[in-house]
């Protein structure tokens, strides 16, 4: 029986055509100068995001942490949403790597707004830590791939600018926000000093993320990347996958969103299960019955070769991607139904 892997959109495997692009990549030593394929990818994504420059990173976490190091001096505070990737999934890196502390703000539905940000920015003081940076996540993973509306992002930017505080956008799944709304990625990127986009999630690449910003920031980011251990050699073999994905996978993201809606609709009436309607490609399930928890549900799904992930004690996450098709969704929904009915 075919295994249906809905744990994340990071589990995709390169398509045969992507593998051909990787095999044929023109490469050089990026640490000693530049890798031509990586440079083409960086220029292409800088153009999509409307930024003057961009730089390849091995992971989104490293790119996020580089942005924090660039924009928030040691001893300052970074405002983040309390369930954001920065706070929950980056292993305390801002404190360890950059000497800054995070200020987690609980936001309704996981989405920051301008009022919350303005209230969290510290007033000038010789006795308190000062706000160095605001970090925003779009789409918001823990909120179920929810989209931060452009108008809200614009208001957050204005609130931060009023106090001369820079903004970084974790746009790991910004591709999904653009596909779902029809708003180009550059519209959100214009409201941040730096923006990170990931190649290894919705675009289906084996690895890689890009940090974009102005030329001076990205020049300094190259040094930060090296300090963090991310300086690489023939990265054209990874960048070639990114170039292929921009041309062939970016335009199909709406299909992932359709499959996520299909999964939500087919499981909406299962007793004991609350389905959070998806904005994009992430479906969150809240377990309401006392007879099951997330660990038990995920184990029982796996016994039928359906893989989802535990997101909290009573929350399960499913993520659609380019390796998933409609029959997979039907079987996953039927398996969930069987588990709760039994």
Q: Per residue in 277-334, pLDDT tens?
A: 999 999 999 999 999 999 999 999 999 999 999 999 999 999 999 999 999 999 999 9
CA 175 – CA 330 distance, rounded (Å): 26
For residue 157, with 0-12 CB atoms within 10 Å meaning exposed, 13-18 middle and 19 or more buried, which class applies? buried
User: Do 232 and 276 fall into the same domain?
Assistant: no
- The predicted-structure confidence for 75-102, as pLDDT tens digits, reads as follows 999 999 999 999 999 999 999 999 999 9
Give the CATH number, domain containing residue 109: 3.40.640.10
The total number of structural domains that make up the chain: 2
User: Do 35 and 151 fall into the same domain?
Assistant: yes
User: Do 211 and 330 fall into the same domain?
Assistant: no
CA 337 – CA 328 distance, rounded (Å): 14
User: Do 221 and 265 fall into the same domain?
Assistant: no
Angle (nearest 5°) at CA 201 between 195 and 203? 90
User: Do 119 and 221 fall into the same domain?
Assistant: yes
User: Do 34 and 160 fall into the same domain?
Assistant: yes
Count CB atoms within 10 A of the CB of residue 29. 12
User: Do 155 and 231 fall into the same domain?
Assistant: yes
Q: So what's the pLDDT on residue 1?
A: 79
Domain region containing 282: 4-10+252-341
User: Do 136 and 61 fall into the same domain?
Assistant: yes
User: Do 22 and 167 fall into the same domain?
Assistant: yes
pTM of the model: 0.97
Q: So what's the pLDDT on residue 342?
A: 82
User: Do 265 and 204 fall into the same domain?
Assistant: no
Q: Could you tell me the pLDDT band of residue 67, with boundaries at 50, 70 and 90?
A: very high
Domain boundary at 195, 225, 249, which? 249
Mean pLDDT, the chain, integer: 97
- The predicted-structure confidence for 27-66, as pLDDT tens digits, reads as follows 999 999 899 999 999 999 999 999 999 999 999 999 999 9
Both structure tokens of 329: 């969704």
Q: So what's the pLDDT on residue 144?
A: 97
Domain boundary at 188, 221, 249, which? 249
Q: If DSSP states are collapsed to H, E and C, what string results for the chain?
A: CCCEECCCCCCCCCCHHHHHHHHCCCCCCCCCCCCHHHHHHHHHHHHHHCCCEEEEECCHHHHHHHHHHHHCCCCCEEEEECCCHHHHCCCCHHHHHHCCEEEEECCHHHCCCHHHHHHHCCCCCCCCCCEEEEEEECCECCCCCECCCHHHHHHHHHHHHHCCCCEEEEECCHHHHHHHHCCCHHHHHCCCCEEEEECCCCCCCCCCEEEEECHHHHHHHHHHHHHCCCCCCCCHHHHHHHHHHHHHCHHHHHHHHHHHHHHHHHHCCCCCEEEECCCCCEEEEEECCCCCCHHHHHHHHHHCCEECEEEECCEEEEECCCCCCHHHHHHHHHHHHHHHHC
Q: So what's the pLDDT on residue 14?
A: 97
Q: So what's the pLDDT on residue 200?
A: 98
Mean pLDDT, residues 167-196 = 98
Domain boundary at 220, 249, 278, which? 249
Q: So what's the pLDDT on residue 106?
A: 97
User: Do 261 and 133 fall into the same domain?
Assistant: no
Q: Could you tell me the pLDDT band of residue 221, with boundaries at 50, 70 and 90?
A: very high
User: Do 23 and 145 fall into the same domain?
Assistant: yes
């Amino acid at each position: 029986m075919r295994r249906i892997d809905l744990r994340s959109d990071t589990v995709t495997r390169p398509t045969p055509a992507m593998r051909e692009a990787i095999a044929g990549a023109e490469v050089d030593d990026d640490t000693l100068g530049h890798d031509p394929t990586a440079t083409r990818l960086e220029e292409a994504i800088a153009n999509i995001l409307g930024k003057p420059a961009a730089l390849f990173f091995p992971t989104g976490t490293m790119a996020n942490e580089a942005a924090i190091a660039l924009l928030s001096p040691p001893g300052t505070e970074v405002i983040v949403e309390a369930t954001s990737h920065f706070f929950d999934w980056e292993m305390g890196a801002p404190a360890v790597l950059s000497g800054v502390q995070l200020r987690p703000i609980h936001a309704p539905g996981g989405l920051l707004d301008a009022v919350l940000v303005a209230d969290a920015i510290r007033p000038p003081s010789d006795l308190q830590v000062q706000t160095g940076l605001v970090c925003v996540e779009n789409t918001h993973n823990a909120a179920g791939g929810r989209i931060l509306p452009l108008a809200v992002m614009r208001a957050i930017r204005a609130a931060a600018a009023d106090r001369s505080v820079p903004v970084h956008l974790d746009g790991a799944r910004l591709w999904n926000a653009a596909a779902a709304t029809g708003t180009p990625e550059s519209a959100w990127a214009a409201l941040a000093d730096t923006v990170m986009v990931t190649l290894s999630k919705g675009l289906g690449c084996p690895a890689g993320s890009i940090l974009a910003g102005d030329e001076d920031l990205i020049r300094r980011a190259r040094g930060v990347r090296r300090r963090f251990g991310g300086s690489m050699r023939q990265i054209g073999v990874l960048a070639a996958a990114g170039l292929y994905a921009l041309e062939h996978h970016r335009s199909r993201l709406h299909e992932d969103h359709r499959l996520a809606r299909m999964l939500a609709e087919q499981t909406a009436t299962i007793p004991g299960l609350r389905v959070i309607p998806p904005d994009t490609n992430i479906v969150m399930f809240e377990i309401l019955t006392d007879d099951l928890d997330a660990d038990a549900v995920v184990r029982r799904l796996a016994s039928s070769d359906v893989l989802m992930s535990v997101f909290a004690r009573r929350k399960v996450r499913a993520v659609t991607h380019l390796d998933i098709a409609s029959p997979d969704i039907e079987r996953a929904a039927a398996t969930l139904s069987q588990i709760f009915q039994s």
